[in-house]
Amino acid sequence: MKRKIDPIKSEVIARFLLATAEEMGATLMRTAFSPNIKERADCSTAIFDVAGQVIALAQRVPIHLGSMVGAVDEILKRFPMDEILPGDMFVANDPYNGGGTHLPDINVIAPVFKDKRIVAFVANIAHHADVGGMVPGSEAAVCKSIYQEGIRIPPVRIMRAGKVNRDVFDIILLNSRTPDERVGDLNAQFAANTVGARSVLQLFDRYGLKETQEAIAGYLDFTEKRFRAAINKLPRGRYVAEDFLDGNADGETCAIKLALTIGKGRMDFDFTGSGKQLESARNIPYRALLATVYTVAKAMLDPEVPANAGYYRTLHTKAPPGCVVGPVPPAAIGCRSISASVLGDVIANALSQAMPNKALAGSGPHHLFVLSGTDPRTGVYFVDYETVAGGMGARANRDGVDGVRVHASGSSNLPSEALEHAYPFRVERYALWDESSGPGQYRGGAGVIRDYRVLADDIVVSLSSERQHVPSPGMAGGGSGACGAFVMNPDTPQEKVLPSAAADIPLPRGSVLRICTPAGAGYGDARKRTITAVEKDVVEGRISPDYSSRTYLEGA
């Protein structure tokens, strides 16, 4: 006879585990060395049951979920349970061999033991600013093979019985242009897992092994049941959507196609018909595809559903091997996060057809740039990995959000003060991009403009982006959002628009690099926007009076 689960106790246990995942994240950020982790929070933490199911996930960077899903399974394929010791930790980053979704994201996973028995796993992932490869920052759209993107680490033991495996540790350090940062960030990851394992063990000590495991299983079942109920509120049927990434050459595009089938308590996402995997690093590996599906479905159907493996059971994803959302080795995948934002628009478009009252127009993904060189203040070589947020598309009943990460992306813009303290640059402009929002009854979210003055002599930059050629699409008559751009020396006679993807562009001392991120699209006919809303946009400086007259008032 199946034991009845106490719902209150189950909720207490689940909330304790979520709090533990958050505590791990705080530990990781507060002890990390690199600004990318400690300031931008480009990291995530999670707790798994002994079978490898996600039972608690700190909601920081959703695409990191793809790096977590299946991670424990891959470890157990290589290391039998009886060979894993208390104090062991494992490291991995390769998407084709049980690691993350691109090489800078390094997973560190640790077992939790009770009475000489593994009862759970804790894990964290941190984006390291450089793990080798052909360009500083180990991420550039121009990479044509994963071998150009950095060191590849299958699941291996990096700590044995509480002692660091120096062989593996030193190999990672030797492949990075900034090894001192890697030492600090890896040690921060070890500390986060130590904190997590300690708290999880306290939970098992308090309630006992059987009762805790039953409560966790019951909570996963509850999550599944709740999400199936949300799916059952949607009209059953087949919904088709499509959008485009930049292709292999200027002027070319690569389609992401989706056929969404909504059935009884389940949704099937079929990406058959999507374009072939690209020769650039814009490909989206399978686990990043899963993370984006899980994130967008949760956000649109039931944002408050617990972020655990229970609701994953209701979502089924198919992608033919060799396509842009199911690449096979040695396809490059470094810029998968930017591409996944366009993928998120495709998923949101299909879901919007089934739930028009919660529809979401196209969004503007973040732009990536990596600045590197020697800091004249210290003589030390640095790698400044940054992304700047775009704008969210409008909803069916509200304006889009300005300057925000969209869909599966989640880390912060680097604060100007932290940037200027750590690196030889000065931020001379940091603002929302006026008149970039897609017009509509509800306008899209604005993109961002950020200007960097170079204060050193040997600086180079690598650039990666989407939606510089294919704008975010409007919905129900709404207009497209503005496309993004990289501009050198803007508003001067030396102004030059830079490519949407490039590596190692020299930036002379005194030059200015401008980042313009793409904006969200509008929803509904712009002439239906209320006069009050238009006037508010003018007062706030979002649009000029002339723009408002041309876009919103003529013909109204």
CATH of residue 12:
3.30.450
pLDDT-based confidence at 411, cuts 50/70/90? Answer: confident
Residue 3: the pLDDT is 61
Q: Is residue 234 part of a domain?
A: no
For 417, other C-beta atoms within 10 Å of its C-beta total 10
Q: Is residue 110 part of a domain?
A: yes
Residue 12: the pLDDT is 92
Whether the ω angle into residue 330 lies within 30 degrees of 0, i.e. cis, is yes
- Residue 183, helix vs strand vs coil: helix
Q: Mean of the pLDDT values across residues 72-85?
A: 92
Residue 62: the pLDDT is 76
pLDDT-based confidence at 307, cuts 50/70/90? Answer: confident
For residue 550, the 8-state DSSP code is: I
Cβ-based neighbours of 255, under 8 Å, separated by 6 or more: 242, 243, 244, 273, 274, 275
Residue 192: the pLDDT is 98
| 66 has a pLDDT exceeding 70 | no
Cβ-based neighbours of 70, under 8 Å, separated by 6 or more: 52, 98, 287
Q: Is residue 282 part of a domain?
A: no
For 164, half-sphere exposure in the C-beta direction (CA atoms, 13 angstrom radius) is 14
Give 348-387 pLDDT, tens digit per residue: 999 999 999 999 999 999 999 999 999 999 999 999 999 9
Higher pLDDT, 235 or 100: 235
Q: Is residue 156 part of a domain?
A: yes
Residue 67: the pLDDT is 66
Q: Is residue 334 part of a domain?
A: no
Task: Assess whether 217 and 363 both reside in one domain.
Answer: no
Q: Are 391 and 542 in contact (CB under 8 A)?
A: no
Q: Measure the CA–CA gap between 238 and 227, rounded to whole angstroms.
A: 19
Residue 1: the pLDDT is 43
Order of strands, edge to edge, in the sheet holding 89-92?
A: 54-57, 43-49, 117-127, 105-114, 89-92, 156-160, 163-164
- Burial of 378 from C-beta contacts in 10 A (0-12 / 13-18 / 19+): exposed
| Closest by Cα among 68, 69, 59 to 19 | 59
For 191, other C-beta atoms within 10 Å of its C-beta total 17
Give 456-506 pLDDT, tens digit per residue: 999 999 999 999 999 999 999 999 999 999 999 999 999 999 999 999 999
Residue 6: the pLDDT is 84
Single residue among 182, 199, 223 that ends a domain in this structure: 223
Q: How many domains does the structure of the chain reveal?
A: 2
pLDDT-based confidence at 61, cuts 50/70/90? Answer: confident
Single residue among 165, 188, 223 that ends a domain in this structure: 223
Q: Is residue 308 part of a domain?
A: no
Single residue among 223, 256, 289 that ends a domain in this structure: 223
Q: Is residue 331 part of a domain?
A: no
Q: In which residue are the tokens 């495991």 written?
A: 213
Strand segments (E) across 95-236: 105-114, 117-127, 156-160, 163-164
* Domain extent at residue 15: 7-134+143-223
Give 254-303 pLDDT, tens digit per residue: 999 999 999 999 999 999 999 999 999 999 999 999 999 999 999 999 99
Q: Is residue 384 part of a domain?
A: yes
Percent of the chain with pLDDT over 90: 91
Task: For 507, list phi and psi in degrees, rounded to 5.
Answer: -120, 105
- What is the residue-averaged pLDDT of the chain? 95
Whether the model pTM is above 0.85 = yes
Give 420-446 pLDDT, tens digit per residue: 999 999 999 999 999 999 999 999 999
Percent of the chain with pLDDT over 70: 98
Specify the amino acid at residue 218: G
Q: Measure the CA–CA gap between 375 and 381, rounded to whole angstroms.
A: 6
